[in-house]
Structures are given as structure tokens and as C-alpha cells.
Amino acid sequence: MKISGNSNQLPEVKEAYLRQAAEKPQVEKNAPQQRDDSVRISSRAKEVQKITAEVKKAPDVREEKVRQMQEQLATGTYNVRGEAVAGKMLKETMLGTIL
């Protein structure tokens, strides 16, 4: 519709606007939208959760190992090979670099 300076067309414009607005479907803004959200955990993930829980239950210090080493130190029978210590240090360093 062409609108010119003629104010007599204003009621026609208003009527056209209202007619167009009435034809559009009204969507309620606050209407809740139904969603069916779900979460599926794979069997592998469940296994990882189970193992993680078991590891958390384990003590941080292996008491029996500590007791054995204390006895060996006290009696002078504790012997460490330098090659074994160096090998473990290198292995830890390399793993730390990779990971």
C-alpha cells in the first residue's frame, strides 16, 4: 500500500496492519517448551567411574612397604641400585614430557 502525505489513508493503513497482525499465529512468550533431555552413560564410562571410586578408597601410603623399608634402614640391609633409581627418574621425566 502506498502512503502519501494524504492523512485520509491513515485509517486504511491501521486496518491493514491490524488485519495482518490477526492473521499471524500468536506465540506465547512464556509458554514452557517441552523438551525431552536425557543423558546416556556408556558402559565404558561406568567402568571408569567404578575404578576411579576404588582408587580413591585406596590409601595414599602403602604401610607394609614403608614398614619393610624402615626395618631395612634400621638394620642396614637396605640397598639401592643407582641404575634403578636413574631409570625410574628418566621414565617419570619422559612420561611427564609426553603427557
What is d(CA 56, CA 65) in angstroms, rounded to the nearest whole number?
Answer: 19
Residue 36 in this model has a pLDDT that exceeds 90 = no
From 23-27, 35-39, 59-63, the region with the lowest mean pLDDT: 23-27
Residues 6+ apart with CB under 8 A from 78: 69, 72
Amino acid letter for position 41: I
Q: Which three cell numbers stand for residue 64?
A: 607394609
pLDDT per residue as tens digits for the range 39-97: 888 999 999 999 999 989 988 888 999 999 999 999 999 888 899 999 999 998 888 88
What is d(CA 28, CA 26) in angstroms, rounded to the nearest whole number?
Answer: 6
pLDDT of residue 61: 86
Q: Are 49 and 38 in contact (CB under 8 A)?
A: no
What is d(CA 59, CA 92) in angstroms, rounded to the nearest whole number?
Answer: 22
Residues 75, 77, 92, 47: is their CA dihedral positive or negative? Answer: negative
| 68 vs 7, higher pLDDT | 68
pLDDT of residue 52: 93
